Structure 1
Amino acid sequence: MLGLLGVTLVALGGMGAGAILQRDPLLTKVGLSWLRYGHGHDLASMVLYLGLGLVIWAWVRLGRLVRWGEIGDFAVLVAVTVWTLPLLFAPPLFSKDIYSYLAQGQLALTGYDPYEVGPAVLQSTLSDNVSWVWQHTPAPYGPLFILIAKAIVWVTDASVILGVVTMRFALAGGLVLLCWSLPGLARHLGGKSSMALWLVAANPLLLVHLIGGAHNDLLMIGLMAAGVLLVLDRRHVLGFVLLGLAFSVKATAIVVAPFLVWIWAARLEGDKRARFRKALLPGVAAFVGAFVACTLIAGVSLGWIPALRSSSMIINWLSLPSAVGDFVRMVVNWFVYVDGGIFLGVARALGSVVLVWIAYTQWWAARDGEVRDAVRRGAVTMLAVALLSPATLPWYFSWPLALAAGFAWSTGALVTVSLASVFLLLVTFPNGDTALYSWGYLFFALLVSALAARSLVKPDPFGLSTRYE
């Protein structure tokens, strides 16, 4: 109930403080347009952050009950369901990406190639709300997601508000897949199913950003987790089909596929090279077959793959190469002015080299096909992708977390992940702008995150219950 109150306040506060429409007919009709400006906006922001605090508090308390063994899977699933429902109907929160999704669907519906042109060519209500950064940027998403976006725009007759809600319901299918997959992954990886569900499905980082912000990463990681589980359950072909579908939403899903080939190969007969071929060929056929089918049904080209470069427009210090490049630029410019793009380009190129090296060494080290080792190395590689890509956004860290949640977690690791989850939740402002350069705010966010993490293992972090004994 505490979490339900929290997400309800987040949804209500989002009406004025979220990533709202430029011209919101719903707020105008009900006389609440004053929430967008001045003191009204300040009030909405206060309500939203109060709700966010309650959600974090509820998540930490739920985690303590899971750690103590007082509740199981069902209780966590009830909490996830209750905390999700208000967010399905909230205004877009902490991101404007959903407007880009809908505009890309409208591009495909009206005969444009979303991999060739940006939303600006539409001059529609949908494109008007797309962030200026992405107005002229082709879609970097796979054919399955373009097909989903196209269908949603058609069903909702290009209504922005209905489109937002319908898109959320479509993406929530990824949350359902996660909730189905995580107990099975925990069974194979030696962890606790209720802990895996708490760590991922109930995590405010995932709920607020991936449901409230309506990011297609949710559908991708749901399909990916389900595909991994099917492979571990020896339903190899179907597992690779789901991985192909996940790749057809967002390219990141391909990272885990090579590790699963080793697991499949270890279960076959013959010498190591023959077993690898026997697993590789049907695995590639299933993966590529699913992707080709999505591409043909969606009626699009492969243009989304080169469009992946568009994410490099994002520059923040969550990406380690971008952070290093920007820091070196700052130091050099203390003494002499040099175009910062040089340092950024070199740092990102070196980051890509390091990422390829990590991915190869982790993959090769997993060649024995031992299940836990292969999945763990796949999660490490996914984490490296999030950290070393040219651009990193807070919710990208849900990728490795979805793979790793099924392992047995030490107390220290849980505290670290809790701190990181809360901090990453808070480093974006409700309207979608980044807070990564607002240092005073970040210091406060770090304090809140540390308190939440400490509260997971120490219910009374300030010792208040014993102060007057």
Structure 2
Amino acid sequence: MTRPGPGASRVGHKNPPNEEPAERAAPGRRAGTAGLYAIGAAVACFFTVAVLGPSAFVPTLAGDGGHPPYSLDAHPPPHLVIGLAAGGVLAGAAGLGLCLAAVARGWRVRPFPLVAAGLLAAVAFTFLPPSGSADHLNYASYGRMAATGHDPYVTRAVDLPGDPVAGSPEEWRFTPSVYGPIATGSQAFASWAGGGSVRLTVFVLSVINTLAFALTALVLYRTARSDGRRLRTALLWTCNPLLLFHLVSGAHNDVLAIAPIVAALAVFTGPSPGPRRALAAGMLAGAGAAIKLPAALAGGGPGWTLLRDAWTSRSPRAVAGLAALAGGAGAVVAVAYVLAGPHALDQVSQASNMVSLATPWHLVDVLLGRGEHRGVIKAGSMVLGVLLFVLLARALPKDEEDQRRIAAALILAWLLAAPYELPWYDGFGWALLALLPWTRFDWVLLAHTTALSLAYLPARAPARIGLPESLSWLVTVVRPTVIPWTLLAVLVVLAALCLRSGRAPATGRPPRASAGSPG
């Protein structure tokens, strides 16, 4: 009787297809478990910052304390809340990194409990005051302007100093709205529901954001076709502690634009979508663009696919689909901006010349004389964006839905090349990467988001929060110097990965560590 060789499995104990051997699954399981604990610790840090109430991280909300959002009134010192937030960012990044490495080594866990846990955390954050920045006060102000008959694209917070909501912003008091008409509509609804209360208005805004976050999680989960891909959506989106911190706890309205573009890519599914689905995808992409203009880049994925099919096969169906996609997107954007007025784009045009302190372009800006040659920076960022798109489109993993790869390449190129970038913008990249197979580029975005998160601890004016002298180095050294050089290194690593990478096969499994992958 022949004995089985060392590589054979016993009868009844055969490894299932695509499953890692036990000796690789064991270390993966330990890393994955440690990663989940670290993610939980990060969420607990962020939760503590918010529940302590007004601080350097949490702006005061005027209104009846009996109304949500709720918190203590502990007035914690800046050192405590900044330390908690920094610890949360580092723990969250480490936890997510451990989970990615564990998956690459064979670790698997049921995705649905992770999704449920992430959504429960999102709901809990909704009932706490927003933390990290004061942008939600700007949203409330613009909504109040619209709800009371003022044009938020012309009116400024300083023009309505007696209004309890419109006059509440800490910053951007001299700046009209830069947000799209659909975003302004949601802000006006929140103002109508909240009345003259800043607290209630902000709470309604948080509820809308959380609903958009949950809708995105649902679409990503339902779009995934295997437990492995569903686990990916849970880790990269729903349980991603950095996104829970910035998009949900921070109440940033970027998630409102992310939801429709993810839905657009989900609708535009299959080898040859017809004009109806192309029209629906176009309308959803147009809605995203009418919230935040760069969201329109995601529509480039379906557009690229249809244009390629129309060019190579001369297919009337592809031509009709391309026309429907462009028509749907154009119609939604046109109607939104006609109702708001073309001047709604004025502030967007001015904002395109801005350079944020934590991007590599700040180094160039200082070298050129701080604002003297912003046109050079704008042109340089566009060239860099095109180059990054070409590299990413070639290197990102390809699966059966090619338009997702192109859309992700466009969005990531924008995030990595833009002169003005804040950590919550990276939510666009995480959502679109979650639609793709496992890839080493997850690590690039993790490094990018972590660095930007550490640059804005917090994203409020130091004079406004009374930042002590002992912490001034966060604003004078880390934000304008350490982080720009760090992100420049991230760009170099990204370019090297792109140049070395062939396109990954569409297996739906993470790349092995031996192939230069995570872990």
* Normalised-by-shorter TM-score class: 0.7 to 0.9
- Which one is further off, 99-108 or 252-261? 252-261
Q: How many residues align?
A: 426
In the TM superposition, 1:50-61 aligns within 5 A as: 55=92, 59=96
Match of 2:125 among 84, 87, 92: 87
Matched, 1:432 2:469: no
Offset at 1:101? 0.9
The CA distance in 2 between the partners of 1:417 and 1:255, in whole Å, is 18
The 8 Å contact of residues 9 and 51 in structure 1, kept in 2 or not, is answered as: no
Flag structure 2 segments of 5+ consecutive residues without an equivalent. Answer: 1-36, 463-473, 491-511, 514-519
Amino acid at match of 1:213: G
Residue 319 of structure 2 corresponds to 277
Q: What is the CA deviation profile of residues 400-424 of structure 1, one whole-angstrom value per residue up to 9, with x for unaligned ones?
A: 22212222224x4444443333333
Q: What is the CA deviation profile of residues 167-197 of structure 1, one whole-angstrom value per residue up to 9, with x for unaligned ones?
A: 0110122212221222355449x97221132
The alignment's TM-score, normalised by the length of structure 2, stands at 0.70
1:305/1:278 CA distance change after superposition, 3 Å? same
Amino acid at match of 1:83: A
Q: What is the CA deviation profile of residues 42-64 of structure 1, one whole-angstrom value per residue up to 9, with x for unaligned ones?
A: 44445555555665566556656
Matched, 1:396 2:425: yes
1:386/1:243 CA distance change after superposition, 3 Å? same
The 8 Å contact of residues 355 and 385 in structure 1, kept in 2 or not, is answered as: yes
In the TM superposition, 1:338-353 aligns within 5 A as: 339-353=369-383
The CA distance in 2 between the partners of 1:207 and 1:364, in whole Å, is 28
The 8 Å contact of residues 279 and 328 in structure 2, kept in 1 or not, is answered as: yes
- Which one is further off, 369-378 or 213-222? 369-378
The 8 Å contact of residues 19 and 430 in structure 1, kept in 2 or not, is answered as: no
| Secondary structure at 2:371 match in 1 | helix
In the TM superposition, 1:132-171 aligns within 5 A as: 132=171, 134-171=172-209
- Report the identity percentage: 21
Residue 300 of structure 1 corresponds to 340
The CA distance in 1 between the partners of 2:175 and 2:78, in whole Å, is 30
Q: What is the CA deviation profile of residues 222-271 of structure 1, one whole-angstrom value per residue up to 9, with x for unaligned ones?
A: 11111111012533222222111111211111112133123345667994
Offset at 1:365? 8.8
1:391/1:26 CA distance change after superposition, 3 Å? same
Offset at 1:276? 5.2
Residue 385 of structure 2 corresponds to 355
The alignment's TM-score, normalised by the length of structure 1, stands at 0.77
The CA distance in 2 between the partners of 1:325 and 1:47, in whole Å, is 32
Offset at 1:107? 1.2
Offset at 1:318? 4.1
Residue 165 of structure 2 corresponds to 126
The CA distance in 1 between the partners of 2:124 and 2:282, in whole Å, is 34
The CA distance in 1 between the partners of 2:217 and 2:175, in whole Å, is 34
The 8 Å contact of residues 119 and 214 in structure 2, kept in 1 or not, is answered as: no
The CA distance in 2 between the partners of 1:427 and 1:20, in whole Å, is 19
Residue 258 of structure 2 corresponds to 221
Residue 290 of structure 2 corresponds to 248
Offset at 1:319? 3.6
1:55/1:164 CA distance change after superposition, 3 Å? farther
Matched, 1:406 2:435: yes
| Secondary structure at 1:93 match in 2 | coil
| Secondary structure at 1:438 match in 2 | helix
The CA distance in 2 between the partners of 1:194 and 1:364, in whole Å, is 24
The CA distance in 2 between the partners of 1:76 and 1:31, in whole Å, is 26
The CA distance in 1 between the partners of 2:429 and 2:442, in whole Å, is 14
| Secondary structure at 1:425 match in 2 | helix
Amino acid at match of 1:20: P
Flag structure 1 segments of 5+ consecutive residues without an equivalent. Answer: 330-338, 451-456, 459-469
Amino acid at match of 2:215: L
Matched, 1:205 2:242: yes
- Which one is further off, 51-60 or 238-247? 51-60
Higher Cα Rg, which structure: 2
The 8 Å contact of residues 93 and 431 in structure 1, kept in 2 or not, is answered as: no
Offset at 1:163? 1.3
The 8 Å contact of residues 66 and 194 in structure 1, kept in 2 or not, is answered as: no
Matched, 1:98 2:127: no
| Secondary structure at 1:125 match in 2 | coil
